Amino acid sequence: MEQRQFLLSQKDIPTEWYNICADLGEPPPPPLHPATMQPCGPEDLAPIFPMAILEQEMSAQRWIKIPEEVMNILALWRPTPLYRAIRLEAALGTPAKIYYKYEGTSPAGSHKLNTAAAQAYYNKIEGTKRIATETGAGQWGSALSIACKFFGLGCTVYMVKCSFYQKPYRKSLMNVFGAEVYPSPSEKTDFGKSIIAKDPDCPGSLGIAISEALEDTLKHDDVKYSLGSVLNHVILHQTVIGLESKKQMEMAGDYPDVVVGCVGGGSNFGGIVMPFMADKYAGKNVRGVAVEPTACPTLTKGDYKYDAGDTARMTPLLKMYTLGTDFIPPAIHAGGLRYHGMAPLISLLVEKKMIEAVAVDQIDVFQAAVLFAHTEGILPAPESAHAICHVVTEAKRAKEEGRERVILFNLSGHGLLDLGAYDAYLEDRLESATECDDRRVNPNGKCQAF
């Protein structure tokens, strides 16, 4: 019997995060102050983030030590398993070897707790009393609510409205851990009220929810803001995924030809791919493929330019691929991938052609997700299923070419709180993104006219 599981012991949990900025050859484009258009310094962002986070955000140091207090939290579920998808390979009849890193074993059910634990810790030691944040599908909000409870902090979450109603049990999970959760746009902030006044049926977006969380933060001296994706320090914290994966691939006696992950803001893909990009900079032949939804094609159809990270334009301007801050995509069930921009580090690597990007439709995504569940027994989150969709494409291409290919992807979370999305798919109530062009999608996933 071929080995399917590749498991590390707790002594193999990474003790340092890897920072790709050290290997870029030049500093990445800095964030710009929206008023002066000059590079932001720590003092500009201190009202929003704790200083330790800002130092990591702007660091060019290759390795950054993980604090012991954070290690103690990570040890609750790390290292996460690496599996070879032997049954999926057989179903596809492919000569490709398919491996997946499974982050759904965390208490939050996804990779998000890797950075939530770190951010909650740094806020705690600098005196923060409450953290305000946004969430799309609810994975980030769930993770931060858990981390805040672990470190004795309050937590307020502005959840994109369409996901708030699509995924009610995400809200329930956050409430269990003491978080306040509001559908965004909400009546809790001036910006939320302004959006509702213009469009009472607005399904929300991550850009709007970010604006609400920032407004909440800036109105209170003891509150800080926390972001679950996009920024450098978030991708830094997520590199535990790729660092563990490299050890596990060595155990398997393989090295990936291609590393695949879904992308919305870029955190889970950045986490698995960045340690392999270090190898690519050192001369190794490895591809990275970022997979996004056709409904929100940031990398494949966006512009690479400076843009705000939120709809109210309260954030510093980031050099990134963007669809524009006013872009509100259809309310597809992969709510965590509905962000108008992309992590600056991933955007830079795409611009340098170090990483590839593809877009896939949600019908194909759910087909791949069900195939994966039927063969591997794990129901993936709709976001993670975007990666699976492209893995199937890569595996079929290997079959057509008649040659072996080693594929590694990040299964960034389970879909056990996304069963409404699977109901919609199985009941034929989903439509493709092309069929949803220029129309809204209601909370059950069906297109409806403006």
The domain limits of the chain are: 74-109+235-448
pLDDT in tens, 50-79: 999 999 999 999 999 999 999 999 999 999
Cα Rg for the chain, rounded, in angstroms?
20
pTM, rounded to two decimals: 0.94
Helices vs. strands in the chain: H and E counts, helices first:
18, 17
The yes-or-no verdict on residue 447 having pLDDT over 70 is no
Angle between helices 419-426 and 362-376 (to 10 degrees): 110
For 222, the enclosing helix (H) or strand (E) is: none
State the Cα–Cα distance between residues 335 and 135, nearest whole angstrom. 9
pLDDT in tens, 344-371: 999 999 999 999 999 999 999 999 999 9
The yes-or-no verdict on residue 184 having pLDDT over 50 is yes
pLDDT-based confidence at residue 242 (cuts at 50, 70, 90): very high
Average of pLDDT values for 140-162? Answer: 97
Signed CA dihedral, 309, 332, 373, 94: sign only: negative
Q: What angle do CA 360, 361, 363 make, to 5 degrees?
A: 135
The yes-or-no verdict on residue 387 having pLDDT over 50 is yes
| CATH of segment(s) 74-109+235-448 | 3.40.50.1100
State the Cα–Cα distance between residues 32 and 97, nearest whole angstrom. 44
Q: Where are the beta strands (DSSP E) in 382-423?
A: 406-411
**Which residues sit opposite 225 in a β-bridge?**
132
For 374, the enclosing helix (H) or strand (E) is: helix 362-376
User: Could you say which DSSP state residue 163 is in?
Assistant: H
Mean model confidence pLDDT for the chain? 93
Average of pLDDT values for 228-257? Answer: 98
For residue 336 the two structure tokens come to: 């965590």
